[in-house]
A and B are shown apart, each in its own frame.
Chain A
Amino acid sequence: MATEDTYELNIGPQHPSTHGVFRIKVAMNGETIEDLDMIVGYLHRSMEKLSEERTFTQNIPFTDRADYLAAMSNNLGYCLAIEKIADVIPPQRATVLRVIFAELQRIASHAMANGTLVSDAGAWQTPLMYMFREREKILDLFEMTCGARLTTNYMRIGGVAFEPPDEFYAQLNSLLGELPDRVDEYMEMLSENEIFIARTKNVGIITPEDAINASLSGPALRGSGVPWDLRKAEPYCGYEDYDFEIPVGNIGDSYDRFMVRLFEVKESVKIIKQALNILPKGMHKTQIPLALRPEPDQVYFRTEGPRGELGYFVITDGGPAPYRMHIRAPSFINLSLLKKLATGSSLPDAVVTLGSIDIVVGEIDR
């Protein structure tokens, strides 16, 4: 890869800005990246193969570990796919609870993504700590509901595992009260900060044509200005009943992706408030057979995770385990454009671009 004019630099697997065991082999000419080769697989746990040996319910914890920063969203996508193939209809209360938790997870994940992006741009972790403050509160809510903070394993086929405790609602309401102010605080702190703008504006520009062609999804796609959100386009969990907007970026640079995430936090708060209003009484889970044996069929079910289109492609053969389960991992596919974006840019710009695409290595490698 390295030619006479270039030298080789290994960014990762241990590097502060790769956000995990992710490695990019770079041919550099001075500070400019001439060529790069992405090397993944350090965290490969063969999730798809393992899931062929376990029952549908036993596979739920795997989905936690795929995207460990958005466990709830991954649980949700998987459970919805299995419910679809097995014709299980969750109770209304469970659906609304799922929306609440998925949106909370989206806020937590976006806080993490934006915080680390600012750290990649060189801030000495102050914005990261601020954003972790909100994430901590959300994780506290998860903890009081299901006992776990990171790998929640909360959704079940046919509902959710537990009813949230009573104090959950009070804490959630106070959090929802302060979150929009916090977002405004970040907007003041970062979105008008000259240095931050100089570092992210016009860096890593993805054109909308490229974004669509490279199968990008989530904030990476919306940052380029393409208004595509599965919650609106292909509503699941009754998202069509909620009133929210889709923020889209202007030119598709790192700054736009950052801002789209910030605005999505506000929209998520709106969704959660509406969900709390319509939260019905009733069961939080339906009874399903211990060993679920759906008819031989196939399903490809997609949800809008924090990082984009999270799809579960499941084939059943009538047995208690999926015959084949494929996870369409948004982080993995969003990396398709990394080579094109980073080639010709300088090293700091490439780091910011990578941070703005927001990868989770557990999901890339699965």
Chain B
Amino acid sequence: MIKKFFSNTLFIKLSIGFATLIFLFAGYFISKLLFDLSVFSEFIFNFFLERFSYNLAYLASSIIGALGIISFVGLVLLIGSWVERRVIARFQIRVGPNRVGPFGLLQPLADAIKLMQKEVLVPDIADKLLFLIPPVAIFLPAILAWGPIPWGPNMSYLDINVGILYVFAVSSLTVPIIFFAGWSSMNHYALLGSMRTVAMMVSYEIPVSLSLLSVALVTGTLNFNEIVMWQSNNSIWLGLFIPFALFTFFFASTAEINRTPNDIAEAESEIVAGYHIEYSGMKAGLFMAVELGNAVLLGALISSLFLNGWFLFGIENLVPPYIIFITKTVFIYLLLIWLRATFPRFRLDQLMNFAWKTLIPASIIHFFVVAIEVSIISNFSEIPYLIVLFTVINISLVVLLAYLWGKIFHVQQYQPEKIQPRFAASIGGLEAMKEVSSID
């Protein structure tokens, strides 16, 4: 009787509901407790300040903060690879990793262990020193760029005035590192990959910088926190106010961080693995981990610059703001996974053409438009809802221009009904070719 009761589905449902309630209550209290993490950082700083000098306290707290960021990034790498594989598996009607640990959650760990056990191969003719440095060095920009990210109120590690420029400068260090990785391998595929990377990154840094410039122009600052605050003060998301900048930043950044559809630097069907073809074991794993970490970093940048950071319609007062921020980040990351699961890859020349002939001129024009709008807003600040008006104008302009661009440049060439095969009326060679009926 008792056994029967426990195996009853009703009982299971009841217990699940009960557990959910407990979990919600616990979550509420925990979130109240952990609402503002700056309490902890102040506590740490004061703890050291009471016992040691200011300098040592500064050093110790900065190291602890850096450890916090590094551990977060490490956690992201572990969970992120699992998420990516599971989500892509769902896209591809597969199950994905599900054997190691619950739901396959330990699969990244198992992968890492497997990669570490592998032999580290160094090619005979490689430049040994330059070959061994890049897999380690490539972590530097990937970690450093997390510095000024605003996780929540009073929660950014580097609250500096040059935040955007800093991220931009640090991430540009990736280019020489990847180049050295490819060059030192002494492999034609690797060299091709690294040359592609350099060409692509140098081209796409321009649209990225132009889109970030318009963000700086609108908000009047380069500080991440102030950009987030500007958005909440004016109660508008920058992604809505200047949607073209968001698009440019997103697309150009996928080229910068080597994600589909712009992953031509390690295009596996063409140049096998690109710049890291000769790296084996954990070295290759490090390159892949950095690629993943950069994708999450892109999510964090977009959510702070364009999606209003830790604010979300007042929900930030109920849940810890950093949870909202991480949710937005994960949302962008899932968008990247979606792109990766659906799109083929561009060719190098197509990508460069798009950058130089479309994206850069359009960004420059967009920059001027934004400048005019900003000057209007600052000169006629007494008119209400001016920002809302410009938001509507900007969105409709972007939609209209995208439509026109497609009409003029692209769709005329490739109308689906014109390029579909036709059915042959009769069998034969060149003579019979002349009389094929059209399809319908």
Contact = CB atoms under 8 A, between A and B. Distances in A.
Query: A and B touching (C-beta < 8 Å)?
Result: yes
Interface of A: 7-9, 15-17, 28, 31, 118-126, 129-130, 133, 189, 191-199, 201, 208-209, 212, 225-229, 232-233, 245-250, 255-256, 259-260, 263, 346-349, 351
B343 interface: yes
Nearest to A264: B421
Interface of B: 88, 91-94, 188-189, 192, 260-261, 263-264, 267-272, 340-350, 410, 413-414, 416, 419-430, 432-433, 436, 439
A122 B433 contact: no
Contacts of B426: 227
Contacts of B192: 31, 347
Contacts, number: 146
A122 B269 contact: yes
Contact of A124 (B94, B341, B428, B430): B341
Given A208-B430, A228-B427, A245-B424, A349 B347 contact: yes
A245 B423 contact: yes
Given A130-B92, A256-B421, A212 B429 contact: yes
Contacts of B419: 197, 201, 250, 255-256, 259
A276 to B, nearest CB: 23
B423 A248 contact: yes
Contacts of B263: 122
B2 to A, nearest CB: 44
A226 B434 CA distance: 9
Contacts of B422: 247-248, 250
A196 B345 CA distance: 8
A229 B342 CA distance: 34
Given A194-B410, A227-B426, 4 more contacts: A9-B189, A129-B94, A225-B433, A226-B433
A187 to B, nearest CB: 8
Specify which of B267, B344, B349, B410 lies most central, judged by the most chain A CB atoms within 10 Å of its CB.
B344
B428 A17 contact: no
Contacts of B429: 212, 226, 228
Nearest to A250: B419
Top 7 A-B residue pairs of the complex, sorted by shortest distance between their CB atoms:
A122-B345, A227-B424, A129-B92, A246-B424, A247-B421, A121-B344, A123-B344
Nearest to B416: A192
Contacts of A208: 430, 433
Contacts of A196: 344
B269 A248 contact: no
Contact of B350 (A118, A198, A228, A248): A198
Given A124-B260, A124-B341, A129-B94, A227 B427 contact: yes
Contacts of A191: 416, 420
A34 B92 CA distance: 37
A201 B414 contact: yes
Contacts of A351: 269-270
Given A119-B269, A121-B269, A346-B348, A233 B427 contact: yes
Nearest to B342: A126
Max chain B C-beta neighbours (<10 A), residue from A7, A248, A256 = A248
A249 B345 CA distance: 24
Contacts of B91: 126
A139 B272 CA distance: 30
12 contacts: A9-B188, A122-B263, A122-B343, A124-B341, A130-B93, A226-B430, A233-B427, A246-B423, A247-B424, A263-B421, A348-B345, A351-B269
A31 B192 CA distance: 8
Nearest to A9: B188
A201 to B, nearest CB: 6
Contacts of A130: 92-93
A348 B348 contact: yes
Given A201-B419, A229-B427, A256-B421, A125 B410 contact: no
B430 to A, nearest CB: 6
A199 B347 CA distance: 7
B421 A249 contact: yes
A126 to B, nearest CB: 5
A126 B341 contact: yes
Nearest to B411: A194
Residue from the set A8, A130, A245 with the largest chain B CB neighbour count within 10 Å? A245
A129 B93 contact: yes
Contacts of A248: 421-424, 433, 436
A255 B414 CA distance: 11
Contact of B343 (A123, A233, A348): A123
A195 B436 contact: no
Nearest to B347: A348
Contact of A125 (B92, B425, B433, B436): B92
A348 to B, nearest CB: 5
A193 to B, nearest CB: 7
Contacts of B88: 124, 126
A104 B93 CA distance: 22
A315 to B, nearest CB: 29
A250 B421 contact: yes
Given A17-B269, A260-B421, A246 B410 contact: no
Nearest to B348: A31
A250 B422 CA distance: 8
Contacts of B430: 208-209, 212, 226
Nearest to B418: A250
A259 B189 CA distance: 31
Contacts of A126: 88, 91-92, 341-342
Contacts of B420: 191, 259
Contacts of B344: 118, 121-123, 193, 195-196, 199
Contacts of B349: 346
A319 to B, nearest CB: 38
A119 B343 CA distance: 10
Contacts of A129: 92-94
A120 B346 contact: no
Which of B346, B427, B428, B439 has the largest count of A CB atoms less than 10 A from its CB? B427
A192 B419 CA distance: 10
A232 B343 contact: no
B202 to A, nearest CB: 16
B301 to A, nearest CB: 23
B436 A199 contact: no
A118 B341 CA distance: 12
Contacts of A121: 269, 344-345
B93 A348 contact: no
Nearest to A246: B424
Contacts of B348: 31, 346, 348
Nearest to B261: A195
Interface centre among A120, A121, A348 (most CB of B within 10 A): A348
A118 B342 CA distance: 11
Contacts of B272: 15-16
A123 B270 CA distance: 12
A126 B189 CA distance: 25
A199 B346 contact: yes
Given A122-B260, A195-B261, A7 B188 contact: yes
